[in-house]
Structure 1
Amino acid sequence: MSIYEDYNKASRLYDNQRVAVGADVMAAMLQFYSGKPLEVLKILDAGCGTGNYAKAFIEMGAKQITLLDASSKMLDKARSKLKECKEKGMIAGIIEAKMPPMPFPDDTFDAVMFNVVLNHLDRNDNTFPNSVATLKETVRILRPESLIIISAMPDTVLTRVTWFTQLNMDLTNRFVEAVVPTLEQCEQMFHDAGITCIQKLNILGSDVFKNYYNLDGPLDEEWRGTNAYWSFATEEEIGVVEKKVKDLKARGEYEKWVKEHDHSGDTGILTIFFCKKNLSKPRSN
């Protein structure tokens, strides 16, 4: 689904790091706002990756989930992971397609979720046209009173919260400027797409990454290979990171530096937006 990360390549190691953080909160809020149990709701996991969120929702009671992703290898992982669920009829479909558009009829779903997906649809355009077009398509395929769930890591997470993204701020600032929307830009995207955020939550902690506190991770190509952030890095920028880590370790200051620069426990890494489509359609430009 990404315009800058090769997820066919990343699929091999993706599940070594990623988990469905916040899935319990998403499921609870979906049931709260819909007034219905998960088992009767038709849910689209858009940009599903290897199916971690779909699997988590099924384990909490969902029985009608459709998976969509542009990476064939990520979907292969999802099919393997969810084979038993599909045989039991809990998977409505597993579809390979690039967003936008959305390959579904009008009024198909009760909920659509995008988990750290929208930042992969645009590059070097702060109006985020592909994200807006995808959200407009989401409005079309949703039934009335449905919910759109969007999780994201805002720009300030990379610049101030996650410790490893502060090892080379030139790289981080370049990455943020190219693909990561600010909270204000997210709100503008929602407005342009004809949706309204009705609730916004931060998930504290670093649980989105299994090996977040592997302090040797920045020196390990496989550890870096599970995070799209590193796909932006040039060899020179990786060299800067490696040199800083080695220098801090040589001075016996590395663990202290990480503690001083890690704010995942008090600020959180993941922001979840719960949105509904507006009653009137957005104006055409």
Structure 2
Amino acid sequence: MGARQITLLDASSEMLEIAKCKLSDCIASGMVKKVVEAKMPPIPFPDETFDVVMFNLVLNHLDRGNPAFPNNVNTLKESVRILEPDGLIIVSTVLSTTLSRVLWFSQLNMELTNRFNATILPSVEQFEKMFEDAGIKCIQKLNILGSDLYKSYYNLNGPLDESWRKPSAYWSFATTEEVATAVQKVKVLKDKGEYEQWVKEHDHTKSSGVLTIFFCTPLPTQKDTPLAT
């Protein structure tokens, strides 16, 4: 994006440590100005601090199981507050339709996937309602094709490996029984010699993409809108 300086914020100290390791050169050069541990909302920065605010796979974690999405709406309102005039808000997410129809491993246990979608992943329509309630306007939606964001995505033995499942919000959400169901399906398909073909038929990342990105701007009257109570 050609950023001169960036500030990182996350509620997880573990995730911030990973980010510090990956961006050590950027921190040393001063490109990364601050690394802040905080839970949203609110967002702990002064008014009109940034020209771009980006939520990278984070909003879907703020309101688990609450279809009104109050934390999301208030966090988006906070992004308007800390945004400079004519700034841009970027939201990246994985949509529920993507998980259900595009990612091969999420089709190993559709009961788990449907429960995860209903609890964790807002739909496009729900995001649009959040944007409306927060006083921002989506000006562009993009789907990123391919699975390059996930280096081990095509590790077909991954579902059998706890270390492969552990970093994933999807698998961490699963019960022991739901994991066992997925593992059993992999083993049955392997025994039949059908597993690789099944994965090819159920993976659509190259045609439909994994990541969806919303580009948004504040509506003109929203700078002074207070947080909802």
2:192 is equivalent to residue 278 of structure 1: no
Tell me which residue corresponds to 2:119: 178
The alignment partner of 1:243 has SS state of helix
The alignment partner of 1:101 has SS state of coil
Equivalent position amino acid for 2:189 in 1: L
* Higher RCO (CA-CA < 8 Å; seq separation 6+): 2
Please report how far the alpha carbon of residue 125 of structure 1 lies from its aligned counterpart in structure 2 after TM superposition: 0.9
Alignment of 1:48-197 (within 5 A): 62-197=3-138
- Supply the distance in 2 between the matched residues of 1:248 and 1:264 (Cα, whole angstroms): 21
Measured against aligned partners, the alpha-carbon deviations of 1:9-66 in whole angstroms (never above 9, x if no partner) come to xxxxxxxxxxxxxxxxxx2xxxxxxxxxx3xxxxxxxxxxxxxxxxxxxxxxx32111
Equivalent position amino acid for 1:275 in 2: C
The 8 Å contact of residues 200 and 272 in structure 1, kept in 2 or not, is answered as: yes
- Supply the distance in 2 between the matched residues of 1:171 and 1:66 (Cα, whole angstroms): 35
- Supply the distance in 2 between the matched residues of 1:80 and 1:152 (Cα, whole angstroms): 24
The 8 Å contact of residues 115 and 151 in structure 1, kept in 2 or not, is answered as: yes
Measured against aligned partners, the alpha-carbon deviations of 1:232-276 in whole angstroms (never above 9, x if no partner) come to 111111110011000011011111111111111111111111000
Tell me which residue corresponds to 2:194: 253
Tell me which residue corresponds to 1:17: none
Listed as ranges, the gaps of 5+ residues in structure 2 are none
How many residues are treated as equivalent by the alignment? 226
The alignment partner of 2:206 has SS state of coil
- Supply the distance in 2 between the matched residues of 1:191 and 1:144 (Cα, whole angstroms): 19
Tell me which residue corresponds to 1:233: 174
Listed as ranges, the gaps of 5+ residues in structure 1 are 1-26, 28-37, 39-61
- Supply the distance in 1 between the matched residues of 2:152 and 2:30 (Cα, whole angstroms): 33
Equivalent position amino acid for 2:215 in 1: F
Query: What TM-score results when the alignment is normalised by the length of structure 1?
Result: 0.77
Tell me which residue corresponds to 1:32: none
Equivalent position amino acid for 2:4 in 1: K
- Supply the distance in 1 between the matched residues of 2:98 and 2:107 (Cα, whole angstroms): 10
Measured against aligned partners, the alpha-carbon deviations of 1:166-193 in whole angstroms (never above 9, x if no partner) come to 0000000000001110000010011011
The 8 Å contact of residues 168 and 237 in structure 1, kept in 2 or not, is answered as: yes
The alignment partner of 2:205 has SS state of coil
Query: What TM-score results when the alignment is normalised by the length of structure 2?
Result: 0.95
Measured against aligned partners, the alpha-carbon deviations of 1:139-184 in whole angstroms (never above 9, x if no partner) come to 0000111001111111001111101000000000000001110000
2:150 is equivalent to residue 209 of structure 1: yes
Please report how far the alpha carbon of residue 72 of structure 1 lies from its aligned counterpart in structure 2 after TM superposition: 1.2
Equivalent position amino acid for 1:114 in 2: F
The 8 Å contact of residues 63 and 89 in structure 1, kept in 2 or not, is answered as: no
The alignment partner of 1:105 has SS state of coil
Q: State the superposition RMSD in angstroms.
A: 1.3
- Sequence identity, in percent? 62
